[in-house]
Amino acid sequence: MAAILFDLGGTYLRCAISGDDGALANLYKTRIETVLDGHEPRAVWDKILSQMTTYTESVSGLTILGTPVILAFPGPIEDHQRILNAPTVTGGHVTIPDLRSELMNLTKRDVYILNDVSAAAWHFSRKLAIGRFMVVTISSGIGSKVFDRQYPDCVFDAAAYAGEIGHLVVDESSNAPKCDCGGIGHLGAIASGRGIERAARSRAQKNQAAFESSACARDFKATPVTLTNEQHLVPAANAGDEWALTSIRESTRPLARVLNSMVLGIGLQGIVIIGGFALSLGQVYVGLLGNLMKELCDYSLLSNHLPGLVQLGDEREEACLEGAADYAFRIVQRKP
């Protein structure tokens, strides 16, 4: 069915409309402002609502009044209606407005909200032949969703906490890092892009001699204070620098353990890796994660399957928009 689509990430809002065939049109992308830019949470939400309303009005001549709005959102959602947490947008422990109701009032349209990784799972369901797989995003945070063709709703997201593996406690030490949600020792605080960057900075400060001999400092001119993923750690890792690869590997180790548990627990037939940090490393990241999963697995029945289990998702910015369109076609149109 036709739909107005939004994909709200940690940095950008992507917009499109889809026709009855699911094809995207009128693509638009704009940067969002978050609390990390110094804005108050309510001001952030008001700006996002304004951007979505403006886009909806701009395509009103291309849609009918009954065309629904589908929003892919980076956080846990209850009943495809209420956002429960939005740490990458407004931080943790902040009151979140009823975005759905407000957007419905502003646009005069039905609004459905689904987790952005759920949208990605719908997207990959059209590309993969396997029956049950998990999509894992490695970006500013970590999230996941399971897609099963035998499950009536296909994506396991009926429970708001489904797929929130980034908030598993994997470090119980006294100096465990703090998650953006406010929790301590969470997987997302360690193995996400932000967590890896913070850990690499700390490692560089503790052993500056080793850091200064790395490509991060030598070739890309980083210091322990200025080190970033985009400018230093990722380019160095892609160039084969051992210091950079070791930094990423050690932060990714807890994720490998969690994924092994998920594979065994629900019989996953594949794992698709997406997210800005992972995609920037490409096959380097997939190889590193797959090797860690095999290293941490001492069960031959599983280890024999691990080499081909992990694969890289595509780098298309429109993946979540396409997934939202598929969700509208497969799920929304059959709702009473």
pLDDT the model gives residue 230: 95
CA distance 33 to 45: 9
Q: Does domain 129-312 have CATH number 3.30.420.40?
A: yes
pLDDT digits (tens, 9 = 90+) for 232-257: 999 999 999 999 999 999 999 999 99
> Can 3-121+317-334 and 129-312 be said to share one CATH topology?
yes
Question: What number is the average pLDDT over the span 62-85?
Answer: 88
- Is the pLDDT assigned to residue 90 strictly greater than 90? no
Find the largest Cα–Cα distance for the chain.
65
pLDDT the model gives residue 38: 81
pLDDT the model gives residue 81: 85
CA distance 47 to 67: 23
Extents of the domains making up the chain: 3-121+317-334, 129-312
pLDDT the model gives residue 332: 65
pLDDT the model gives residue 11: 77
Which residues does 122 contact at the CB level (< 8 Å), separation at least 6? 147, 154, 155, 322, 323, 324, 326, 327, 330
Instruction: Please tell me which residue, 86 or 172, carries the higher pLDDT value.
Output: 172
For CA atoms 193, 308, 259, 298, give the dihedral sign: negative
Q: What percent of the chain has pLDDT over 90?
A: 71
- Is the pLDDT assigned to residue 93 strictly greater than 70? no
Question: What number is the average pLDDT over the span 90-101?
Answer: 81
CA distance 217 to 208: 10
Question: What number is the average pLDDT over the span 320-335?
Answer: 80
- Is the pLDDT assigned to residue 120 strictly greater than 70? yes
Encode the chain in three state secondary structure: CCEEEEEECCCEEEEEEECCCCCEEEEEEEECCCHHHCCCHHHHHHHHHHHHHHHHHHCHHHCCCCCCEEEEECCCEECCCEECCCHHHHCCCCCCCCHHHHHHHHHCCCEEEEEHHHHHHHHHHCCCCCCEEEEEEECCCEEEEEEECCCCCCECCCCCCCCCHHHCECCCCCCCCECCCCCECEHHHHHCHHHHHHHHHHHHHHCHHHHHCCHHHHCCCCCCCCCCHHHHHHHHHHCCCHHHHHHHHHHHHHHHHHHHHHHHHHCCCCEEEECHHHHHHCHHHHHHHHHHHHHCCCCHHHHCCHHHCEEECCCCCCHHHHHHHHHHHHCHHHCC
- Is the pLDDT assigned to residue 88 strictly greater than 80? no
Q: How confident is the model at residue 138 (pLDDT cuts 50, 70, 90)?
A: very high
Q: Which CATH architecture has domain 3-121+317-334?
A: 2-Layer Sandwich (3.30)
| Locus of tokens 């997406």 | 274
When the pLDDT of each residue in the chain is averaged and rounded to a whole number, the result is: 91
